[in-house]
Amino acid sequence: MKSELTAALWLLPILAAGATEHTAPLPAGELSHIHGVVLPAGSDDVLLATHFGLYAVNRTGMATMISAAADDFMGFTSGTDGRLYASGHPGSGGNTGVIGTSGAGAEWSHLSDGVGGPVDFHAMTVSPADPDTLYGSYGGVQVSRDGGRTWALAGSGPSELIDLAAAADEPGHVYAATTTGLHQSVDFGKTWSPVAEGAPVTAVEVASDGGLHAFVPGTGFLALNDTSELVPVGEMKNTVVLHMAFDPDDQEHLVAVTAESQVISSMDGGRSWSSFAP
């Protein structure tokens, strides 16, 4: 039944078609209000979800809009199976609910309104342990166990939540970045406990191999070690990172987006960073 439901999701009515270029390419540096980043498997492109559409950025630094309209894509995330998910706001106004597509350039479909929706998930994540398990933040922490088709409110979640990242070991294990630190749940978001407190965490991401990176303003990038402690990886004191993604083909390759909408890249696991494209 679960596989049948998952397959049915991609037959729902089209929300937006992304297979055609809709605007002339522009330098990635001209993009603003970036709400999410994904590195698709088997591609050199970086996908950037913005307030004004979804863009693919190539290695020359040129960005092409691949969404049919300049809608506001928020909560943008991907699963290990290549499926993409987003929330946000259509250009006509209101909230999008949850939308999904089988991959970059494919058609987007409306999957669900979520609980109390249409929702506007500012933070979403897909479990590396089960690509049908998704989490979103709206009126608390919501969870879907069928690829985004139906949702349940797991609980209120930790206060002042900023970002979510599902762990790779179990579908019910998920992390939350908050203004007071990093928290985790092992029961699908029902209850939470602190991992590290005392400083805000503005972004958190988990690789498919289980590695976790977090960003603390004024410090930089940290990684979760084998004893569940956050240890420094790469210093970065003069900016704030809001979004990051691991390359599914190379776990040492990360791309991040700063509060100034600068896209930066690391090829050594977050120890050093440079502009993504010249």
pLDDT digits (tens, 9 = 90+) for 256-272: 999 999 999 999 998 99
Range of the domain at 117: 2-219
Residue 27 has what pLDDT? Answer: 79
Residue 18 has what pLDDT? Answer: 35
d(CA 173, CA 127): 8
Does residue 276 belong to any structural domain of this protein? no
Q: Using alpha carbons, select from 124, 183, 187 the residue that is nearest to residue 159.
A: 183
The distance of Cα 83 from the centroid of its chain, to the nearest Å, equals 12
Does residue 252 belong to any structural domain of this protein? no
pLDDT band per the 50, 70, 90 thresholds, residue 6: very low
3-class SS of residue 216? strand
Are 194 and 188 in contact by the 8 Å Cβ rule? The answer is: no
Are 114 and 121 in contact by the 8 Å Cβ rule? The answer is: yes
Strand partners, 174: 166, 185
Asked whether the predicted pLDDT for residue 16 surpasses 70, the reply is no
Does residue 85 belong to any structural domain of this protein? yes
- Paired tokens of 260: 């100034």
Give the H/E segment covering residue 159.
Answer: none
The domain that holds 36 is classified in CATH as 2.130.10.10
Residue 32 has what pLDDT? Answer: 86
Q: If 0-12 CB within 10 Å is exposed, 13-18 middle and 19+ buried, where does residue 208 land?
A: middle
Does residue 156 belong to any structural domain of this protein? yes
Does residue 254 belong to any structural domain of this protein? no
Does residue 140 belong to any structural domain of this protein? yes
Looking at the structure of the chain, the number of domains it has is 1
Residue 278 has what pLDDT? Answer: 54
Does residue 273 belong to any structural domain of this protein? no
- State the first-to-last Cα distance of the chain, in angstroms, to the nearest integer: 48
List pLDDT tens digits, range 130-155.
999 999 999 999 999 999 999 999 99
